[in-house]
Amino acid sequence: MTELRSANESDAPSIIRIDAEGLATGHASFRQEPHDWTSFEQAYRAERGLALVLLDDGRVFGWAGVSPTSAREVYRGVGEVSIYVSREKQGKGLGRELLLALVSKAEEQGYWTLVAQIFPENEASLALHEACGFKRLGVRSRIGQMTYGPYAGQWRDVVMLERRSD
């Protein structure tokens, strides 16, 4: 049985483990190091941030967060989403459950636009976001150079997606 709730510091080991699994694929982020609790809290739990965890039988198997895209007041309702699901639970619909819950909570907190930046090779994440109402805006070509893993030194494209509230 799954449960969704706000992330807290006791979830840190699971969040770090799941984050590291995603980064190891080379298709999750330009970040080389997984979040520690301090960086996770700054990104997703600071002012206007939002972080959820997904539990299955009492164990954390996924996390998702919204971080403000800007501190400027004009962008107050615009946030960037991140979602990570443990390898062992991928493909079971938990990512969809988690992302839809994040969208709902974000709207409750006043977010009206959510954006995602996803490597084009991460087809599962692109499909998940599109299934949850995100629309492709375009591709940011060669926007960043990887510093680690099998893609180290390569310039990477990022697909921009956006979801607007009704």
CATH code for 2-164?
3.40.630.30
Cβ-Cβ contacts under 8 Å for 97 (sequence gap 6 or more): 2, 4, 54
Q: What is the pLDDT of residue 130?
A: 98
Q: What is the pLDDT of residue 48?
A: 75
pLDDT averaged over every residue in the chain = 94
* Domain residue ranges in the chain: 2-164
Q: Are 126 and 120 in contact (CB under 8 A)?
A: yes
- For residue 163, which of 108, 107, 119, 121 has the smallest C-alpha distance? 107
Model's pTM, two decimal places? 0.93
Quote helix, strand, coil % in the chain, to nearest 5: 35, 35, 30
Q: What is the pLDDT of residue 45?
A: 79
Write the pLDDT tens digit of every residue in 1-54.
789 999 999 999 999 999 999 999 999 999 999 999 999 999 997 777 899 999
Q: What is the pLDDT of residue 49?
A: 81
Share above pLDDT 90 across residues of the chain, in percent, rounded to a whole number: 89
Fill in the DSSP letter of residue 86: -
